[in-house]
Homo-oligomer: A and B are copies of this chain.
Amino acid sequence: MKLHGYFRSSAAYRVRIALGLKGLPYEYVPVHIAKGRQFDAPFTVMNPQSLVPVLEEDGGRLLAQSIAIIEYLEETRPGPALLPATPEARQRVRSLALLVACEIHPLNNLRVLKYLTDVLQVTEAQKLAWYTHWVATGLEALERRLAAEPETGRFCHGDLPGLADICLVPQLANARRFSVDLAPYPTLRRIDEACAVLPAFAAALPANQPDAE
């Protein structure tokens, strides 16, 4: 398998963690997002959305959208489960994952920040305030859920890492890069630390990718 990604992409980071947790080997193919390589052929043919990650299976099948990729790996590959066993627990884990993937990350990725500065010509301070506002709004809700719900364990759901942790960790890494204060989120930080010691999470770190700058 080949993973077309970018070291700083939170969505690619999610898939790297999932591949690691499943113990699946893959070749990493960097796409330089900051230089706009996602808008060039052949990548645009691989993914008309011009977004990473794309997972390319050995037979050539191309898979887009990080969470849909991870659900697919869960359904087709052996290894530790990334979703829990009951529908109720899966609903919880998916809702936590989508809280990050639908409500935080889309507002803060590079293309959106570029629109703010290049088209709307907001100041650097306004851009950072935007970033911080959406991250804080989302993380606050996530902290409240994880701190209150009895299903939370060492990880977001019980004592094994899964899809919700896979989304949480890259979002926190991204927030740190923009100097967001994570002090108000003790449960998130505790789970993040529990993940950090696992080899799959460490190997997936942006700084550990071949295209890291």
Contacts and interface: CB of A to CB of B under 8 A. Distances in A.
A1 to B, nearest CB: 14
A75 B98 contact: no
A90 B63 CA distance: 11
Given A72-B87, A91-B71, A115-B133, A65 B98 contact: yes
Given A72-B91, A87-B76, A133-B115, A102 B65 contact: yes
Contacts of A133: 115, 119
> Size class of A's contact patch?
35 or more
12 contacts: A49-B138, A49-B141, A51-B103, A63-B91, A64-B99, A71-B94, A72-B91, A72-B94, A76-B87, A106-B107, A119-B133, A120-B120
Interface of A: 48-51, 61, 63-65, 67-69, 71-72, 75-76, 87-88, 90-91, 94-95, 97-99, 101-103, 105-107, 112, 115-116, 119-120, 122, 126, 129-130, 133, 138, 140-141, 144-145
Closest 4 CB pairs of A and B: A68-B94, A106-B106, A65-B95, A72-B91
